[in-house]
Amino acid sequence: MKENNPILENVDIEQITADEVGDAHFGSSELTPIRKDAFDLSDSEKIETIQEHFAKIMETLGLDLTDDSLRGTPYRVAKMYVKEIFHGLDPKNRPEARTFSNGYDYSDMVIEKNIQVTSFCEHHFLPFIGKAHVAYISKGKVIGLSKINRLVDYFSRRPQVQERLTLQIADALSEAMETEDVAVFIDSKHLCVSTRGIKDTTSSTITSEFRGAFREKETQQKFIDFIKAETQF
């Protein structure tokens, strides 16, 4: 899923400046770009290394790390990166998508809506926060509803772009359910848009992926009507 970016056409990637790369936002694969040696270090080793580097960033900015309020910040940030907001990078943290036989022969769509999405834009490492709506039509299997939420959270907890996140959730659900009849719809606000650059605080970004039966106009519209419907909760 390689994007064509006019900023980079006919340009030697090694010669462009950091600002040009930052503004380009060119895409890569549907897979998260992870190095082969990504898991050679233990979590504790990663925390130690990130702590050292983040302390250097803070010092470079002119902050006094001997201050009581700032002294523990490098460690807190490092631990947060490894154990919390980016824990979805490590395959060992992937939730088990356990499925069961559809013994009651339910044949209509199952929708899990308003799933909290908290992820981080890989271009600026700022959060984007919103809601995911996910659906499938059983081909003989059902899945525990909380497993869908956990899959969304797992793929969200890594540096992301919303388009890739949408596809990764669809792939994981389709694989677990052994069906192409899946739909994913995400609506989120990006802090890299609202807090920097254009500083637009009102816009949101919508991405969707419709597969199998959800490509049919009637089924797709039914899904959209359901996620738009007001609920008591």
Is 103 a domain residue?
yes
* Residue 16 pLDDT greater than 80, yes or no: no
Residue tagged active-site, from 123, 163, 180, 220: 123
Q: State mean pLDDT over 159-180.
A: 97
Residue tagged active-site, from 51, 112, 121, 160: 121
Is 27 a domain residue?
no
Residue tagged active-site, from 112, 160, 168, 190: 190
Whole-angstrom CA distances from 193 to 2, 91, 208, 215 are 23, 30, 20, 31
* Residue 17 pLDDT greater than 90, yes or no: no
Whole-angstrom CA distances from 180 to 2, 104, 138, 171, 216 are 23, 21, 10, 9, 13
* Residue 10 pLDDT greater than 70, yes or no: no
* Residue 233 pLDDT greater than 70, yes or no: no
Task: Give the separation between CA 90 and CA 83, rounded to whole angstroms.
Answer: 10
* Residue 1 pLDDT greater than 60, yes or no: no
Pairing between β-strand 127-137 and β-strand 109-121 as defined by DSSP bridges: antiparallel
Residue tagged active-site, from 160, 162, 168, 209: 162
Is 150 a domain residue?
yes
In the chain, the amino acid numbered 81 is: Y
Residue tagged active-site, from 124, 163, 180, 220: 124
Q: How confident is the model at residue 180 (pLDDT cuts 50, 70, 90)?
A: very high
pLDDT in tens, 30-74: 899 999 999 999 999 999 999 999 999 999 999 999 999 999 999
Is 162 in the active site? yes
Is 209 in the active site? no
Based on its alpha-carbon atoms, the radius of gyration of the chain, rounded to whole angstroms, reads 20
Torsion angle, CA of 66/70/74/75, rounded to 10 degrees? 100
Residue tagged active-site, from 30, 122, 163, 180: 122
In this prediction, residue 19 carries a pLDDT of 58
Is 53 in the active site? no
* Residue 6 pLDDT greater than 70, yes or no: no
Is 118 a domain residue?
yes
Longest Cα separation, the chain: 64
In this prediction, residue 231 carries a pLDDT of 77
Q: How confident is the model at residue 230 (pLDDT cuts 50, 70, 90)?
A: confident
When divided into structural domains, the chain yields a total of 1
Considering the entire predicted model, what is its pTM?
Answer: 0.87
In this prediction, residue 27 carries a pLDDT of 55
Structural domain including 130 reads 96-228
In this prediction, residue 7 carries a pLDDT of 39
Q: State mean pLDDT over 156-182.
A: 97
Whole-angstrom CA distances from 69 to 64, 108, 233 are 10, 55, 40
For 35-41, which contacts have Cβ atoms below 8 Å and span 24 or more sequence positions? 38/89, 39/90, 39/91
Is 2 a domain residue?
no
pLDDT in tens, 77-104: 999 999 999 999 999 999 998 899 988 8
Is 110 a domain residue?
yes
Is 88 a domain residue?
no
What is the CATH number for 218?
A: 3.30.1130.10
Is 136 a domain residue?
yes
Q: How confident is the model at residue 168 (pLDDT cuts 50, 70, 90)?
A: very high
* Residue 8 pLDDT greater than 70, yes or no: no
In this prediction, residue 43 carries a pLDDT of 97
